[in-house]
Amino acid sequence: MGPKRVLLPAVAFLSLLFLAGLWLPEVQLSACVRGGRPCGWLGGRGETAPPERDGKPPLLSSRLPLPRHGTLPPPRAPRCPGQGFQISRLLAAFRGCVTPEGEILLQDYLAGWKELIKLIDALGAAFGLLARETQTKMAILEGHRSGPHAPHYRTLQAMVAFELRRGRVGLRVLPPDQPPSGSRTLLRLHRALKWLELFLGKLGRSGAEEDPSQLCAEAYQAALARYHGWWVRQAAGLAFLALPSRRELYGLVCAEGEKEARAVLLDAVGTISRVYNITQQLYATRGLLELP
Ligand SMILES: *[C@@H]1O[C@H](CO)[C@@H](O)[C@H](O)[C@H]1NC(C)=O
C-alpha cells in the first residue's frame, strides 16, 4: 500500500471542504437555508442542474466539426475512441467561441467547459464533486440562455451589459426569488479556467522529473488560492496528491508519444488563454473581477 492509498479517506473528506469553498468561499452557509434544510456545498440556493436531454450533450452533438477562425490550420488534435474527454472537442469549442468581433459566444464557451468537466473527472475521484458543481454553474447559465431574456445571453459581452443595466449582477446579495446572476456564475468558471490553463501549461512545459501534483498545486496557488480560506487551501493540497501520473495525464490527450502530447497541451493552453484574456479584460473594465 502506497502512501497515496492511506491518504484517500483524508482526501475524500477534505476535498468536501475544498469543494465547499472552491467557488463561493465568501457565502456563509447560515445564509443558505431552503425549506428548513441547508442547501448545497457551494452555498448556492439549492441550485440543481437540469437533466441532459436524451442523455446527450446538448451543446456539442450537432456542432462538430466547428468552424475555425483564423488562417492557420490548427495542429492535429488527436481523437481517442472510447474515452469521454476529447481534446479535439475542447479545442473546437474554445476556438469557435470567439467571434471575429472578439465577443465570446456563451454556447461554445459552455461546450468547452463541458469537455473540461470530463477532464476534471479524469483527474481522479477527489475531483468528482468539483465536476458536478461545475455542471451546476453551467446549468444556471444554460437556464439564462433559454430563459425569458435569452437574446441577452448569446454572448458574454451582452450578458454582462444586460445584467449590469438591470441591476442583476448581484454586487451585493440578490433577492432570493432571483436566479443567480450569469456574470457572477461565469466568474467562478473563469477563475477555475485560469487554474486549468496554468496546470496544462506547466504539464506541457515542465521536465519529466517534475511532479504533476506539485505543478497542479502551483497553478492553484497562482490562480485560485487567494479566494479560499486556510482550510480549503489545505484540502486542495491534499486533493492534488491523488493526481494521476504524468504518463496517465499525457494519455488523456491521446497523443502519440510525449512530444506530441506536449504540443497538444500547449495548443490547448493558447486557445484557452485567448478566451480567458478576453473575459478577464471585460470583467476588469466593468469592475467585476472581485464580485462576491
Ligand atoms: C493572455 O494574457 C497574458 C498576460 O497578459 C499573455 O501573456 C498571453 O500571451 C495572453 N494570451 C493570448 C493567447 O493572447
Q: How far is the CA of 51 from the centre of ligand 1 (A)?
A: 36
What digits encode the pLDDT tens for the residues 38-53?
A: 222 222 333 443 344 4
Those residues with Cβ within 8 angstroms of residue 54's Cβ, 6 or more apart along the chain or in another chain: none
Indicate whether 54 pLDDT > 90.
no
* CB of 274 sitting under 6 A from ligand 1: yes
pLDDT reported for residue 38: 29
pLDDT reported for residue 41: 24
Q: pLDDT over 70 for what percent of the chain?
A: 71
Q: What is the mean pLDDT of residues 107-116?
A: 97
* CB of 273 sitting under 6 A from ligand 1: yes
Contact 159, 106 (CB under 8 A): yes
65: cis peptide before it, omega within 30°? yes
CATH of domain 3-24+78-285: 1.10.3520.10
Q: What is the mean pLDDT of residues 278-284?
A: 98
Contact 133, 19 (CB under 8 A): yes
pLDDT reported for residue 173: 63
Q: What is the mean pLDDT of residues 134-143?
A: 94
- Which SS3 state, helix, strand or coil, does residue 98 take? strand
Sign of CA dihedral 249, 253, 259, 264: negative
Work out the pLDDT band at 283, boundaries 50, 70, 90: very high
* CB of 280 sitting under 6 A from ligand 1: no
What digits encode the pLDDT tens for the residues 209-267?
A: 999 999 999 999 999 888 888 887 887 888 899 899 999 999 999 888 899 999 999 99
- Phi and psi, residue 70, nearest 5°: 90, 180
pLDDT reported for residue 263: 96
Indicate whether 7 pLDDT > 90.
no
Residue from 35, 26, 36, 46 nearest 191 by CA = 26
Instruction: Give the number of the atom of ligand 1 that is nearest the alpha carbon of residue 270.
Output: 13
* CB of 270 sitting under 6 A from ligand 1: yes
Contact 126, 100 (CB under 8 A): no
Q: What is the mean pLDDT of residues 65-91?
A: 69
Contact 73, 102 (CB under 8 A): no
Indicate whether 112 pLDDT > 80.
yes
How many H helices and E strands in the chain? 10, 2
Work out the pLDDT band at 4, boundaries 50, 70, 90: low
- Residue ranges per structural domain of the chain: 3-24+78-285
Q: What is the DSSP track for 125-193?
A: GGGHHHHHHHHHHHHHHHHHHTSTTGGGGSBHHHHHHHHHHTT-S-SSPPPTTSPPPHHHHHHHHHHHH
Q: How far is the CA of 272 from the centre of ligand 1 (A)?
A: 10
